[in-house]
């Protein structure tokens, strides 16, 4: 039987299967999906808990430990699906992952000449060069090292205007003034190198690395190039909180800060003199009615102390979106840390938003798996908001696979970039 299972897996190895690997501070989540045209069907789900020293604020701290946990999550997904995938998309998080939207205004020397692919490539490269310089300078400032090397991990069109007129695809248009807004995410090479090593150890072909808030945005945007989707997306993980602002289907920018679910656990462990394991268990059962009143009081005080700092982190992150006139009045949450009921209540009821450019109090809710566009869970195992990032990674992988198919012309590749 075991031999038959191995043969079955070997026969099923196919480039039409894709792994989305969300390497979180607390858990690794692995999804195996069957990709056919624009359909993405999840056929395998796996999860494995991380050890305390494996990650630090969303970044890998122990490669061998993370590889072992990835193997466990992948094995579970493979056992459920009966297949192995060779291609993988891995998420990247941490405070040193910088996602910004830059605008470049380009005055064309020949306004009567229709825009072509070569000219658009030139403009896009200029935007990315400018963004990379800004990201490198910011990371150098935060690390104290001017020699830090950064790499582009994601790029997405926000908007294009020609002579003040908004267009979805500029190819063929005439005009003098072109304004292009492009979202770009950069990360230090040391972090990307660690992910490449993990993929290599797992014998997987790493086809894309995605900033995790960008992956979350891709999960809810799908393939609609004309989407009017508008919201603030917040992925509350174990080590970081990742925020993306999406306006009319375009990613305005992403921010990350190093407070997540593990910060709450550490405060509970410290204040109640518990082990990390017992503190985590108590946090997950904070609403259990049979907790002793004395313990309940200390537990709520510990959560509230961390919550004050976390709310301040959200407020600070959103205040840095100074290029937007108004922030979206809807906040959508995902990630394991967002399971904490007091966190959702605080966002919904406290007046933290009043000094920010909201037009009214924002509504707060979780992203449901059914909210994810164009991805179907055939396993029935994805029932809540904790797998949304991994589902978004599958979307990024699909975009990458479609955009890199052999035989695609340069025109098609540029059009694909502009649609994504």
What does the pLDDT look like over 48-81, one tens digit per residue? 999 989 998 788 999 999 999 999 999 999 999 9
Superfamily of domain 2-94+191-222+369-403: ATPase, nucleotide binding domain (3.30.420.40)
Domain 257-366 architecture:
2-Layer Sandwich (3.30)
pLDDT of residue 146: 77
What does the pLDDT look like over 233-288, one tens digit per residue? 999 999 899 999 998 888 888 899 999 999 999 999 999 999 999 999 999 888 88
Cα–Cα distance between 382 and 391 in angstroms, integer?
Answer: 10
Tokens linked to 328: 């979206």
pLDDT of residue 413: 46
Q: Residue 232 gets which letter from DSSP? A: E
Domain ranges, ordered by start, for the chain: 2-94+191-222+369-403, 257-366
Question: Cβ distance 356 to 388 under 8 Å?
Answer: no
What does the pLDDT look like over 288-303, one tens digit per residue? 878 889 999 999 999 9
For 96-122, the DSSP string reads T-EEEEEEEEEE-S-TTSPP-HHHHHH
Residue % of the chain over a pLDDT of 70: 91
Cα–Cα distance between 101 and 250 in angstroms, integer?
Answer: 10
What number is the average pLDDT over the span 109-123? 89
pLDDT of residue 16: 86
What does the pLDDT look like over 168-187, one tens digit per residue? 788 899 999 998 888 888 88
pLDDT of residue 385: 96
First to last CA, the chain: 44
What number is the average pLDDT over the span 150-160? 82
Q: Is the pLDDT of residue 417 over 60?
A: no
Residue 265 phi/psi, 5° resolution?
A: -65, -45
pLDDT band for position 225 (cuts 50, 70, 90) = low
Measure Cα distances from 405 to 219, 320, 414 in Å: 22, 38, 13
pLDDT of residue 403: 61
State the pTM of this model: 0.85
pLDDT band for position 167 (cuts 50, 70, 90) = confident
Tokens linked to 347: 């966002």
Question: Cβ distance 16 to 87 under 8 Å?
Answer: no
What number is the average pLDDT over the span 345-370? 96
């Amino acid at each position: 039987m075991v031999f038959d299972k191995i043969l079955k897996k070997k026969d099923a190895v196919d480039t039409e299967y894709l792994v989305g690997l969300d390497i979180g501070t607390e858990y690794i989540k692995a999804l195996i999906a069957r990709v056919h045209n624009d359909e993405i069907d999840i056929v395998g789900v796996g999860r494995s808990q991380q050890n305390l020293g494996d990650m630090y604020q969303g970044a890998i701290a122990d490669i061998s430990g993370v590889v072992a946990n990835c193997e466990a999550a992948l094995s579970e997904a493979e056992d459920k699906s009966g297949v192995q995938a060779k291609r993988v998309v891995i998420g990247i998080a941490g405070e040193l992952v910088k996602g910004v939207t830059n605008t470049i205004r380009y005055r064309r020397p020949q306004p009567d000449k229709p825009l072509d692919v070569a000219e658009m490539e030139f403009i896009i490269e200029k935007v990315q060069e400018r963004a990379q310089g800004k990201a490198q300078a910011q990371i150098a400032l935060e690390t104290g090292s001017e020699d830090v090397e950064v790499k582009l991990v994601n790029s997405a069109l926000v908007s294009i205007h020609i002579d003040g007129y908004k267009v979805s695809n500029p190819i063929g248009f005439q005009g003098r003034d072109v304004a292009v807004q492009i979202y770009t995410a950069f990360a230090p090479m040391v972090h990307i190198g660690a992910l490449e090593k993990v993929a290599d150890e797992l014998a997987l072909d790493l086809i894309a690395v995605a900033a995790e808030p960008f992956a979350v945005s891709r999960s809810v945007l799908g393939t609609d190039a004309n989407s009017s989707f508008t919201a603030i997306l917040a992925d509350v993980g174990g080590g970081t909180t990742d925020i993306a602002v999406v306006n009319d289907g375009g990613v305005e920018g992403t921010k990350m800060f190093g407070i997540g679910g593990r910060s709450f656990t550490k405060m509970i462990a410290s204040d109640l003199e518990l082990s990390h394991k017992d503190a985590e268990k108590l946090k997950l059962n904070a609403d259990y009615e049979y907790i002793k009143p004395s313990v309940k009081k200390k537990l709520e005080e510990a959560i509230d102390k961390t919550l004050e700092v976390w709310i301040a982190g959200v407020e600070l992150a959103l205040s840095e979106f100074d290029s937007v006139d108004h922030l979206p009045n809807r906040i959508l949450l995902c990630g394991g840390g967002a399971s904490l009921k007091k966190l959702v209540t605080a966002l919904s009821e406290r007046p933290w938003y009043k000094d920010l450019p909201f037009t009214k109090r924002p509504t707060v809710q979780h992203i449901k798996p059914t909210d994810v566009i164009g991805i179907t869970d055939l396993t029935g195992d994805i029932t809540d908001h904790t797998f949304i990032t991994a589902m978004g990674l599958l979307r990024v992988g699909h975009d990458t696979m479609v955009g890199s198919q052999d035989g695609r012309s340069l025109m098609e590749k540029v059009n694909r970039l502009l649609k994504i």
